[in-house]
Amino acid sequence: MGFVIKPLILWEETPQWHRAIAEPMAIPQTHPLAHLAGYESGLLVWYEDIGPQLYTGLGGGALPTAAALVADLLSSTTWTPRPPLIEPWQSYRAEHAMDAYFLRIILARQSDSLRTCVECLERANVLIQRFETTLHEPTRTLEVVGLTEAVPDQTMADALNGLRRQSAVQTIQAFRVPAVFRWDPSRVFRTGSTPPGVGSRR
């Protein structure tokens, strides 16, 4: 399907609401964050004027951690607290989220198991963009991987609960695919400095 699973932290904000999510997510193999490995970490920032810019560097291990701690100690002497927001954001509510999901489902090999699975998702208003199947003869199971259309969090939760009640379903894995990861990789700046003329960040 062209996706990899990565542990990610996602922050989104609008004038009305914001959300922060930390969980494993599915991202396309063409995404620069998909190629980070080992101690590497990446930060993707979307600018209002130029779009996304990627910052990468060492994010773990003894030396990077020690350097970060020393830098924090040195900067603590000049740090001043930020004033509180005049008008705090509204509390984030689950219905604001509209994300696609990457699904991996293991089904007992039955004549109608795949059709039953798809119908269960459709009844919950979850539409599949595309899916692939793999038959595993030794275990007599059918592996289904698919990408859904964007749906609210609660809709996906209801759909997964419905699938778990199906006798043919043995395993379900669902990974969020936020819209921010569906992009044109050629527009990403890979430098470590902000290009000239950049406005405020999102």
pLDDT, tens digit, for every residue of 93-117?
445 668 899 999 999 877 788 889 9
Position 77 confidence tier, pLDDT thresholds 50, 70, 90: low
Averaged over 50-69, what is the pLDDT?
Answer: 76
Tokens, residue 98 = 């509209």
pTM score, two decimals?
A: 0.70
**Domains plus CATH for the chain?**
3-86+182-187 (no CATH), 100-177 (3.30.70.260)
Residue 14 — left, alpha, or beta (φ > 0 → left; ψ -120 to 50 → alpha)? Answer: beta
pLDDT, tens digit, for every residue of 142-184?
999 999 999 888 899 999 999 999 889 999 999 998 877 665 4
Handedness of CA 19, 103, 125, 158 (dihedral sign): negative
